[in-house]
Structure 1
Amino acid sequence: MANATPKESNMGYNPENWPIGAALLNFTGVTADGRDRTAAGPQAWKQTFREVRHAGFDHVDLTDSWVRPGDLDALGRKQLLETARSYDLAFSDIAVTRKSVITPDEEQARLNMAYTKRTIDAAADLEVPMVCLGLHDPLTQAQKDATWFWLAEGAENEDTEENRGKAAFRFRELGEYAAERGVSLSLEMYEGTFLGTADSSVQLVTAVDLPNVGLCPDIGNIVRLHREVEDWRAMLAKMLPHTNYWQLKNYFRDYDPATGSYASSPAPLALGFINYREAIGMALDAGFDGPMCVEHYGGDGLTVSGMNRDYIRGILASKLPED
C-alpha cells in the first residue's frame, strides 16, 4: 500500500515497466453508425486498441465512457480481454465515471451501486487490479454547452453528516466486495464532492478504513478551476500517503490580480502549472507504487497522453534507485 516506506515499495517496477495506462476519454462510446460501442463487440473495439498500441502504450486505462465492462456478460468480457491482448495490451484500471453512489435520486444511487459491483466483477475477469470511483454526477446541460465543462457549475454533494456517512458506508461496502475479488478501489479527487479537497478526501478514505481502498489525487481537476485553490504541493502532501492510483493531467493556469479573473486550458504534463517532476518525486518519497493513468482533454488527446507517458518514464529513470 501507499503507506509503505520508499524502500518497501516501488521495487516491483522500473521506469520501463511501470504501468502507465492511456485513458480512453478521447474515444466515444458510440460507433460511427450510431451503435452503443459496449454492445457492438470486438469489431468496434479493435481500432481504438490499435491506435493506443501504435501510440506506444502497453496498458489501457478502461474509461467506461468508451466501453462499460460492467455491462458485458462473461463472453463479452472474455472477448474484450482477448481483443486487447491481440494488440499486446493489458488493463491497468477501470474508471467508473459520473455514477455517484450518493446521487440524490436514491433509485439511481442503487443502480449505480449495482453497476459498480458489476464493474468490480469485470475487473476480476479482465485481470484489472484497480477500479477508480468518484462522487461526481453526470454533466449538466450548461457544462455540456461550455467550451470546457469545468467552466460551468456542476452538481455538488449535499454537505451533511448523514450524506458523508452514507458515502463512507457505501464505499466501504464496495471495498469489501472488491477485496473478496482481489481488486483495489481508488477514490478520485473532484470538485464539489466529498473528494473535492485534500482534507475532505483524506477524511473520507480514513472513514472507509480498508487496506484496498485508497485515493486518486487527480489534482488537475482542481488546478483547472477558475477560482482560488489550495497549492498543489500541499494537496499532494496530504493525499500521497493514502494514494494507490494516480490520474495525471496538467493545465495552463493564470490569475490577473487587477481584475480577479482566472484562466485555464489543458496542457501537456511537462508544460503546465503543476511541476510533475517535483510531484512524482514527492509520490515516490511517499512510497507510491500504484498504476498511473495519463489523460488530456482537447485536440489529439492520445498523442499528448503518449508524450506524457514518455515524460513520466524519463522522470522515473532519474528518480528510482539505480540497480
Structure 2
Amino acid sequence: MSAASTADTSHTLTNLNWPIAAAMIQYPNLLPDGSSVQDHSAERWAETVADVSGAGFTEIDPYDSWIRLADLTPERRREFLAVLKAHGLTIPAISTARRSIIDPERGAEFLEYSHRLLDVAAEVGAKHVSFGLFGPLTEAQKKVNWFWTVDGVKNPDDPATYKRAVEGYRELGKHAESVGLDIGLEMYEDTYIGTADGAVKMVRDIDHPAVGINPDIGNLVRLHRPVERWQSMVEKTMPYVKYWHAKNYFRDEVEAEGFVATSPAPLELGIISYRVAVKQAIAHGFRGAFCVEHYGGDGLSVAATNREYLRRILPKSVGPA
C-alpha cells in the first residue's frame, strides 16, 4: 500500500499551491457566553473566519471540535461555505476529534456520524478526512495546563474491540473511496494507532487503499514518558501518509534519570525535523494536504509561521505520485 491519495492529484503541486490548512483547535465549539458555534449567525462565523484569512491562510480544516459541518442543515452549510468563499478559503480536509468508533457508549453513534461526515466532506470539496480512536478528555486532563501530561482514555487490550475498529474503518474506507476521498488515521497515544508499529499494523489489517495514516507524531513526542525516536516513527509511517497534522515540540530528556519535559514549539524549531520527514513522505508518493497546528499562546499565528516554513521546504514542483 502506498501513500498515493485516492483524491485527484493530476495537477502539478508546487511549494506555493500545496494545500496547507489552518487547524481550528484553538477555537472551541462552546463559548463563555454559553452559545454554540453550531447556532451562530453567518456574521459571527465570519468574525472567526476573518482571523484565519487575516493570518494568510487560503485553506481551513474546520475540525468538528469547532463546528460540526455534518450536523448543520444543508442550508446552514451553504451559509458557512459562503462565508469561507467571501474570505478566500477552501476546505481540503475535515478532522474529527474524540469521536471514536469504538467508544464503549457511543461507538455506533460515532460510526454513523463518520459516514455522514464523509458525504459532507465530499459535498464541500474536501479530499481527506481524519479519524482517530482517542476518547474524550478526562476530568483530570481538563484541570491541567497541558492535557497530554495526564493519562487519558486507553483503547482496551481486547481482540474483539480491535477487530471492530479494523472492520469499521474498512467500511468507512469503502465509503470514502466511493465519494472520492481518502482517510488518515490520526496517531495518538494509548490507542491502537498510538505507535508507529501500531498505526502501520492497523492500516495493513484494514487493507483498503483509501485508508492510511495521519502521522501526527507530535502527539507522541510531547508525552512525558519514553517514546520511540521520531526518526524511527517517520521511517515506518511515511509510506502510508494520506493527510498530515503537522506540529512540533521541544523535548528535553535524561533517560538515565527518567526525566522528560516538553512544550509546544514552532514547526522548524522542535525536535522533529519536518525537512527530513516531508522529503521522505513525498518520495513515498504523498501528495495530500497538510494541516498546521499549535497549542498555547497565539496558536493561529504560530500555525501561520509553520505554514510558511513548509512552503520553504516543499519542492518547487512535484507531479502525480
1:71-86 counterparts in 2 under 5 A? 71-86=71-86
Identity of matched residues, %: 42
Opposite residue 85 of structure 1, the aligned amino acid is K
Change (3 A) 1:171 1:52: same
Q: Is the 8 A contact 1:224 1:265 kept in 2?
A: yes
After TM superposition, give the deviation of residue 318 of structure 1 in Å: 6.4
Q: Is the 8 A contact 1:2 1:289 kept in 2?
A: no
Aligned to 1:256: 254
* 1:83-115 Cα deviation digits (max 9, x unpaired): 10110100021111000000122xx11111111
Aligned to 1:57: 57
Q: Distance in 2 between matches of 1:262 and 1:319?
A: 40
Among candidates 132, 136, 149, match of residue 134 of structure 2: 136
* 1:146-201 Cα deviation digits (max 9, x unpaired): 11000001010002221111100011111112222222111000000000011111
Secondary structure of residue in 2 paired with 1:239: helix
Among candidates 159, 173, 176, match of residue 174 of structure 2: 176
Opposite residue 219 of structure 1, the aligned amino acid is I
Q: How many corresponding residue pairs?
A: 316
TM-score, with structure 2 as normaliser: 0.94
* 1:210-252 Cα deviation digits (max 9, x unpaired): 1111110001000001111111111111111111111100000
1:111 to 2:82 alignment: no
Opposite residue 315 of structure 1, the aligned amino acid is I
1:281-300 counterparts in 2 under 5 A? 281-300=279-298
Q: Distance in 2 between matches of 1:240 and 1:289?
A: 12
Secondary structure of residue in 1 paired with 2:38: helix
Q: Distance in 2 between matches of 1:319 and 1:89?
A: 23
Residue range with higher mean Cα deviation, 27-36 or 88-97? 27-36
Change (3 A) 1:37 1:3: closer
Opposite residue 69 of structure 1, the aligned amino acid is L
After TM superposition, give the deviation of residue 257 of structure 1 in Å: 4.0
Aligned to 1:163: 161
Q: Is the 8 A contact 1:31 1:44 kept in 2?
A: no
Opposite residue 167 of structure 2, the aligned amino acid is F
Secondary structure of residue in 2 paired with 1:273: coil
* 1:24-55 Cα deviation digits (max 9, x unpaired): 01112134532110122412211121111110
Change (3 A) 1:195 1:77: same
Residue range with higher mean Cα deviation, 209-218 or 26-35? 26-35
Q: Is the 8 A contact 1:77 1:122 kept in 2?
A: no
Q: Is the 8 A contact 2:128 2:182 kept in 1?
A: yes
Secondary structure of residue in 2 paired with 1:173: helix
TM-score, with structure 1 as normaliser: 0.93
Q: Distance in 2 between matches of 1:188 and 1:240?
A: 13
Structure with the larger RCO, 1 or 2 (CA within 8 Å, 6+ apart): 2
1:157-236 counterparts in 2 under 5 A? 157-236=155-234
Aligned to 1:69: 69
Query: Which 5+ residue runs of structure 1 have no aligned equivalent?
Result: none
Opposite residue 144 of structure 1, the aligned amino acid is K
After TM superposition, give the deviation of residue 259 of structure 1 in Å: 3.1
Opposite residue 90 of structure 1, the aligned amino acid is T
Q: Is the 8 A contact 2:14 2:317 kept in 1?
A: no
Residue range with higher mean Cα deviation, 49-58 or 9-18? 9-18
Q: Is the 8 A contact 1:175 1:184 kept in 2?
A: yes
Q: Distance in 1 between matches of 2:129 and 2:39?
A: 21
- Which runs of 4 or more aligned residues in structure 1 lie more than 6 Å from their structure 2 counterparts after TM superposition? none
After TM superposition, give the deviation of residue 281 of structure 1 in Å: 1.5
Q: Is the 8 A contact 2:25 2:66 kept in 1?
A: yes
1:18 to 2:18 alignment: yes
1:86-125 counterparts in 2 under 5 A? 86-105=86-105, 108-125=106-123
After TM superposition, give the deviation of residue 300 of structure 1 in Å: 0.1
Aligned-residue RMSD, C-alpha: 1.8
Q: Distance in 2 between matches of 1:167 and 1:139?
A: 20
